[in-house]
């Protein structure tokens, strides 16, 4: 049982904000950023919540125990939420209230906890999800992506998660980011994305260690050269391609200067460092960014399957350059 160290009730622009925390410090500062977000959405006439529950927790283990029996919360989704600095839960039938969970441990690990502007960007993004509900987002819940890899394939889980992220889940994140930008949180969102890109660049030394280990495995004949190349490319795609989801909304909102500024770091500090995969990764990134920029908000499930097929084909074609065959299937599913 967690000990509650803070409980408060505030009213901001007609919204009831209840804050519950089991951490000792940083709560008041976070509440101030939450207030900025509520007021910002209200000024933009996009706010629809009459009640918000803000949970500031050391970790999200208590939440995980609650959601593990809920429909739609698969093992992979629960694991993803558990590692996120913040997440939002809301009922599609009651969009006038939501619960935002801030994970202090994950926020500290990412270096966000002591960066108020980054935390504001996270809160703005999470609150954007219920506001950003549209036909395409709803259609994304009606589709299932099945990726098939050989038994024991070390890339199986990586490519399954990446495919879901780039295809099925991307519309939800794109429209949420776009909503936050249109509401005026340009500085906070740009700052958050600068951090994400800098974190990717900071991973280059770790990649060098991976390259060395792969080369040693090939020399020892513990791994074939083709398998080594596939592992390296898959890792680079995993590191870089999701960044297209973050950058594209700036272009969607007519914020080309901010989008170009983010991409300049990729083009000078990241892609050239990815020897020998850089050109292939950059090409795949550009194709995804363009698809994300042009994603309509009015897609039906069949139309979204066609769109996701294009996304998956970009991934398939990239992996084919190292003779890796990725097989997948997209289909409509019944939603309860």
Question: Per-block average pLDDT, block size 10, for the chain (336 residues)?
Answer: 86 94 93 96 92 94 72 60 88 92 95 96 97 97 92 91 96 98 98 96 95 96 95 97 98 98 97 97 98 98 98 97 95 73
In a domain, 38, yes or no: yes
Do 304 and 191 share a structural domain?
Answer: yes
**pTM (2 d.p.):** 0.93
In a domain, 229, yes or no: yes
Res 61: pLDDT: 84
CATH of the domain at 12: 3.40.30
Res 184: pLDDT: 98
For residue 217, give its domain range: 146-332
Do 274 and 249 share a structural domain?
Answer: yes
Res 335: pLDDT: 55
Is the CB of residue 31 less than 8 Å from the CB of residue 8?
yes
pLDDT in tens, 261-300: 999 999 999 999 999 999 999 999 999 999 999 999 999 9
Which of these three, 78, 96, 131, is where a domain ends?
Answer: 131
In a domain, 137, yes or no: no
Res 152: pLDDT: 85
Do 152 and 119 share a structural domain?
Answer: no
Do 159 and 269 share a structural domain?
Answer: yes
Do 277 and 176 share a structural domain?
Answer: yes
CA atoms lying within 13 Å on the CB side of residue 143: 28
Which of these three, 81, 107, 131, is where a domain ends?
Answer: 131
Which of these three, 76, 100, 131, is where a domain ends?
Answer: 131
Res 1: pLDDT: 57
Res 70: pLDDT: 61
Do 230 and 167 share a structural domain?
Answer: yes
Average per-residue pLDDT for the chain = 93
Res 3: pLDDT: 85
């Amino acid at each position: 049982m967690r000990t509650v160290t803070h409980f408060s009730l505030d009213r901001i622009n007609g919204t009831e904000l209840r804050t519950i925390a089991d951490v000792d410090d940083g709560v008041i500062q976070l509440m101030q950023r939450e207030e900025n977000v509520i007021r910002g959405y209200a000024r933009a006439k996009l706010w629809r919540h009459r009640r918000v529950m803000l949970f500031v927790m050391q970790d999200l283990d208590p939440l995980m125990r609650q959601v593990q029996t809920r429909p739609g919360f698969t093992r992979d989704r629960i694991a993803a939420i558990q590692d996120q600095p913040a997440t939002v839960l809301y009922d599609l039938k009651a969009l006038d209230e939501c619960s935002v969970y801030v994970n202090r441990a994950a926020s500290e690990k990412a270096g966000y906890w002591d960066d108020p502007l980054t935390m504001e960007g996270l809160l703005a993004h999470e609150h954007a999800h219920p506001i950003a509900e549209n036909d395409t987002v709803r259609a994304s819940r009606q589709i299932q992506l099945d990726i098939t890899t050989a038994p024991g394939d070390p890339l199986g889980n990586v490519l399954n998660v990446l495919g879901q992220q780039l295809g099925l889940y991307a519309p939800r994140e794109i429209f949420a980011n776009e909503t936050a930008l249109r509401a005026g949180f340009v500085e906070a969102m740009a700052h958050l994305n600068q951090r994400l890109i800098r974190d990717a660049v900071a991973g280059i030394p770790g990649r060098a260690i991976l390259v060395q280990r792969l080369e040693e495995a090939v020399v020892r004949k513990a791994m074939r050269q083709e398998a080594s190349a596939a592992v390296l490319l898959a890792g680079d795609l995993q590191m870089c391609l999701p960044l297209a989801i973050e950058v594209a909304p700036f272009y969607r909102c007519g914020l080309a200067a901010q989008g170009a500024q983010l991409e300049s770091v990729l083009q000078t500090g990241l892609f050239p460092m990815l020897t020998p995969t850089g050109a292939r990764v950059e090409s795949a990134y550009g194709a995804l960014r363009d698809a994300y920029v042009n994603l309509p908000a009015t897609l039906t499930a069949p139309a979204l399957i066609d769109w996701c097929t294009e996304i998956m084909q970009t991934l398939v074609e990239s992996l084919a350059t190292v003779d890796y065959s990725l097989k997948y299937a997209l289909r409509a599913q019944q939603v309860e």
